[in-house]
Structure 1
Amino acid sequence: MAFLFACKQCLLFLVVLLHASAAIAAAALDNSTDLASLLAFKAASTSGGAAASDNIIAANWTTDAPFCTWVGVRCSRQYPSRVVSLNLGSFSLQGTISPHLSNLSFLSSLDLSNNSLSGTIPDTLGQLPRLAKLRPKWNHLSGPIPPSIFNNMSFLVYINLYHNHVSGSLPTIVMLPRIEIIAIGDNLLTGHVPASLAQCSTLQEIYLGINRLTGSVPSSFGNLSDLVHLALGQNQLSGAIPASIGNLTKLRLLFLAFNHLGGEIHKELGNLVNL
């Protein structure tokens, strides 16, 4: 009897496993959500008044063809009907970034650079579970950076918001276990440089120059042993350059000019032999 009971349990487990696998496969093959998300993005980003002839998406993204063939769209090889990359740099986009992009659950790369997008960065982008690269640089985006982007994106490796109108302070809670590059220079950021960035041990490049940041250079940055570039120039930082910066022996670029720094230059900075 015990043997028969065990067999029934194994059979039940196998049935549940097969149903779960089928559900996952069906979800991966269901592209209706991706199509709706892309069309919502098209409607929002082509609403700025540009002529259709100047807007590649307006002319090319039509339901006459499968969306995986649309310009700038790349789909998964494993799940051919799911979008994994949007490369839309220099596409003459205007309007705003649709919050419905968060429904592209397989998206790993989003490049919106060199356009004329305005409005805020949707908080819903922080819900993209696989997003590794976020590049909306050189646009007209404004408002604060959603905290969800800094504490809810475990796969994020690269974020570039350079040359926008992003304002407010940087989130104080930073949980980006894979982040390598943070580039938010040439914006309107205020507040302090978050010391919690030092918890991102994978960081290699930090660009926060040309903002309105105040406070000091965090001494905790001396723990970022893989840091190669540190650019905090053209802000309103004060205080001394921490001696701990001398621990960054891989550092090749240190840009702290045009601030209100004072105090002595510590001898430990002489350890930066790769500058």
Structure 2
Amino acid sequence: MEKTCYYILACTSVLLQISCSCVAVKKSTTPAVDQFSLFVLKSHVNLDPYGIITSNWTNSSSICSWIGVTCDLRNHRVTALNISHMSLSGTIPPQIENLSFLVSLDLSFNLFSGVIPQQLSLLHRLKFISLQNNSFTGFIPSSLSNLTNLRVVDFSLNSLQGNIPHVLGRLHNLHTLNMDYNHLSGHIPSSVFNLSALKVISFRGNELTGSIPSDLCSKLPLLQEIDLYFNKLSGELPLNLSECSQLRLVSLSDNLFSGKIPREIVKLKFLRILHLANNNLNGTIPHILVEQGVIPFEIGNLQNLTEFAIDQNQISGTIPLSIFNISSLQLLRLYHNHLYGNLPKDIGNLTKLNELDISVNNLSVELPLTLKPQSADRPLPESLLSSPEEPIFFSKQSLNLDFSYEKLSLREQQK
């Protein structure tokens, strides 16, 4: 009797192991699991105005031929899901975790809502995730830090709240982190600035407070864009910006930053956009911001700069005249500061300029003002000129000029 019981128990144990093994194999290696997960996602879509998911995701065809689905050739497992720009409404079901071969997930520009499911953190192959421009709420899951293969995270234009999880500092392969236009609060975790692979940091349009590290660029040698526009950040601007030698965009406008504009900025030879407007910055515009006299080659002269905005600060002193030799400039906003001195009558090489605003300062502007050589084909209206014989010329773009509250003087004609 005892032998019989032992035999039955042994057989039962073996059968259970085999059964469990079969289930595990089926779950990890069969496309049927992916099909089931996508059907669950389809059932959670409550609005499909173009009928794409409704009519295309059916049993009559392989999931690898479904719109928005990409499979690998070897295993026929789903590796990419891109159902962006379809105006879909619904939620992400927890069964998303079963898409275990998924490398890229793009649900951007839809109407998805609800919370970001924790189950996303089980997709260990994931490198790209974009939930941009939806209506997701709740918090950023801390468990995302488990996805150490992630390169791109874009949760911008949603209604997420709470803090940025400190544990995101574990994502050492991350090169783009975009959380624009949510309701995030608290400090930016210092761990984010230790991610040496980062190229883009963008948290614009949130409610973030605190300061950014004075040695911001010490561990960010590849950083190309930092956009913290429209938050509540304070403190001084980082002094070691030159160590982020690849910077193309620095947008720190509409915060509470104070102190001076770091002279280190002049070393950023790839810089195209520099927005520091509407802060509490003081001091002067660095006179070596552009080439002035003999400047060491390694400092550079920001000849790639297209937008320079330091308006609505407390900047004083004169405008470095050589700033008007940056031929790439398209936007120059210096208004509402404490600048003084004379604006040169010939601002030379600004042939691409389409906005110049120096209003609400204490500048003297001598008219007529030449913005482009007289080979240009569109002068300003004569009503704005003091001498129609010497009109103000400007390039073919629509140019906005604002000299409000400045001292305008008329240059006499040479006889």
TM-score, length-normalised on structure 2?
0.57
Gaps of 5+ in 2: 1-21, 272-415
Note if contact 2:155-2:180 (Cα within 8 Å) is conserved in structure 1: yes
Residues 256-267 of structure 1 mapped to structure 2, 5 A cutoff = 256-267=252-263
Q: Aligned to 2:68, which of 68, 72, 77?
A: 72
How far residue 110 of structure 1 moved from its aligned partner, in angstroms, is 0.4
Q: Aligned pair in 2 of structure 1 residues 118, 106: CA closer, same or farther (>3 Å)?
A: same
**1 CA distance for matches of 2:127 and 2:103?**
5
**2 CA distance for matches of 1:53 and 1:118?**
16
**Structure 1: 4+ residue segments shifted above 3 A:** 22-29
Aligned to 2:173: 178
Report the secondary structure of 1:165's partner residue: coil
How far residue 208 of structure 1 moved from its aligned partner, in angstroms, is 0.6
Aligned to 2:101: 106
Report the secondary structure of 2:34's partner residue: helix
Note if contact 2:49-2:87 (Cα within 8 Å) is conserved in structure 1: no
Cα deviation 1:230-265 (Å, max 9, x = unaligned): 001110001101212232111110000000111222
Look up the equivalent residue of 1:127 and give its one-letter code.
L
How far residue 95 of structure 1 moved from its aligned partner, in angstroms, is 1.1
Aligned to 1:169: 163
Report the secondary structure of 2:124's partner residue: coil
**2 CA distance for matches of 1:131 and 1:205?**
19
How far residue 195 of structure 1 moved from its aligned partner, in angstroms, is 1.0
**1 CA distance for matches of 2:133 and 2:117?**
17
Aligned to 2:232: 236
Specify which structure has the higher proportion of strand.
2
**1 CA distance for matches of 2:251 and 2:164?**
19
How far residue 272 of structure 1 moved from its aligned partner, in angstroms, is 2.0
Aligned to 1:274: 270
Aligned length: 248
Report the secondary structure of 1:100's partner residue: helix
Tell me if 1:83 matches 2:78. yes
Residues 239-258 of structure 1 mapped to structure 2, 5 A cutoff = 239-258=235-254
Quote the RMSD (CA, aligned, Å). Answer: 1.9
Identity %: 35
Aligned to 2:53: 57
**2 CA distance for matches of 1:214 and 1:157?**
26
Q: Aligned pair in 2 of structure 1 residues 26, 215: CA closer, same or farther (>3 Å)?
A: same
Q: Aligned pair in 2 of structure 1 residues 134, 194: CA closer, same or farther (>3 Å)?
A: same
Aligned to 2:32: 32
Which of these two proteins has the greater Rg computed from alpha carbons?
A: 2
Specify which structure has the higher proportion of helix.
1
**2 CA distance for matches of 1:40 and 1:251?**
43
Gaps of 5+ in 1: 1-21
Look up the equivalent residue of 2:234 and give its one-letter code.
S
Q: Which has the higher contact order (CA 8 A, sep 6+)?
A: 1
How far residue 29 of structure 1 moved from its aligned partner, in angstroms, is 3.9
**2 CA distance for matches of 1:66 and 1:273?**
51
Look up the equivalent residue of 1:154 and give its one-letter code.
T
Aligned to 2:405: none
**2 CA distance for matches of 1:147 and 1:29?**
28
TM-score, length-normalised on structure 1?
0.85
